[in-house]
Each structure stands twice: as C-alpha cells, then as structure tokens.
C-alpha cells in the first residue's frame, strides 16, 4: 500500500505507473507514467543497429510492467519482479528523485549500511564541483 503522502508527491496516479527491475541494485523502480515516457523518449533515440544499444534496451526493459494503483492505494507486484528483488515480507519505499525504489527491507538496510563508509567521499566526488559556476546547493 502506498502512503497517502507518497501518492500526493507522485502526482496523477490515474495515469498509472511502470514497474521495472533496477539496473544497479536488487530492487524495483516505480516510474510515474510521465517519467517513464520521458525516459522512453531518450531510449528511443538509441540506434538499435548498434549491438550495445540493442542489448541495453533489452536489459533495461526486461520485466517492465504497467501497474495501476487500486482505489485503496495498493499496487500488486508481479511474482517475477518479487523474485528478482528478493522481496520476502517487509518492504521499503525509497524516493529516488523522480522515481520510487521498492526494496526488501533487509536488502535496503544492508545497502545503506555498506554505503556509509565511503559516502562522504562519494558525496564530495559526485556533488563537490557540480555547481561551481552557478548558484548551487551550498
């Protein structure tokens, strides 16, 4: 069941969502249809006659499911995606800018714990010079 506050942040839930495997982690990604269409606009620009592009498209869209949220705010996760993400009992919904990641609770906590040691270095490398010449975060 999606929390009410999350449903409000996601915008128009009537348009549906796309649920897919994450590229980098054993979790699922929930795209509002507007975000999915924007992503597909980018993916559709790839030349499918280049093998790497074709392989990427196939893997990126593997297991994609169109999902609707029912009137009580629930969404059904298909079994193949449950298997991929190793979701067993409890889940974590994690906002990831324009999408929501859906994790098995234990896997999420392990991923966060394992990333803590080098997070300061990662933050500096990724965000350190991002807004050097314009108004930025700091």
Which one, of 97, 114, 98, lies nearest residue 26 by Cα? 114
CATH of the domain at 118: 3.40.1550.20
Cβ neighbours for 48, distance < 8 A, ≥ 6 positions apart? 54, 57
> What is the total count of domains within the chain?
1
The reply to whether 137 falls in a domain is no
The reply to whether 32 falls in a domain is yes
Q: What tens digit of pLDDT does each residue of 117-126 get?
A: 677 787 788 8
The reply to whether 135 falls in a domain is no
pLDDT at 8: 61
Provide the token pair at 131.
């807004």
- The pTM of the full predicted model, rounded to 2 decimals, is 0.81
Residue 100 domain boundaries? 4-127
Q: What tens digit of pLDDT does each residue of 33-79 get?
A: 999 999 999 999 999 999 999 999 999 999 899 998 887 878 899 99
């Amino acid at each position: 069941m999606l929390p009410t506050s999350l449903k409000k942040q996601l915008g128009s839930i009537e348009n549906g969502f796309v649920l897919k495997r994450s590229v980098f982690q054993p979790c699922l990604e929930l795209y509002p249809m507007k975000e999915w269409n924007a992503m597909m606009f980018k993916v559709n620009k790839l030349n499918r006659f280049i093998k790497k592009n074709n392989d990427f498209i196939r893997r990126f869209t593997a297991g994609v499911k169109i999902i609707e949220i029912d009137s009580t705010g629930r969404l059904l996760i298909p079994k193949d995606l449950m298997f991929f993400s190793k979701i067993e009992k409890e889940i974590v919904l994690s906002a990831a800018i324009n999408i929501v990641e859906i994790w098995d609770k234990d896997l999420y906590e392990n991923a966060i714990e394992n990333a803590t040691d080098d997070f300061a270095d990662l933050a500096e490398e990724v965000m350190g010079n991002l807004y050097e010449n314009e108004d930025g975060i700091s």
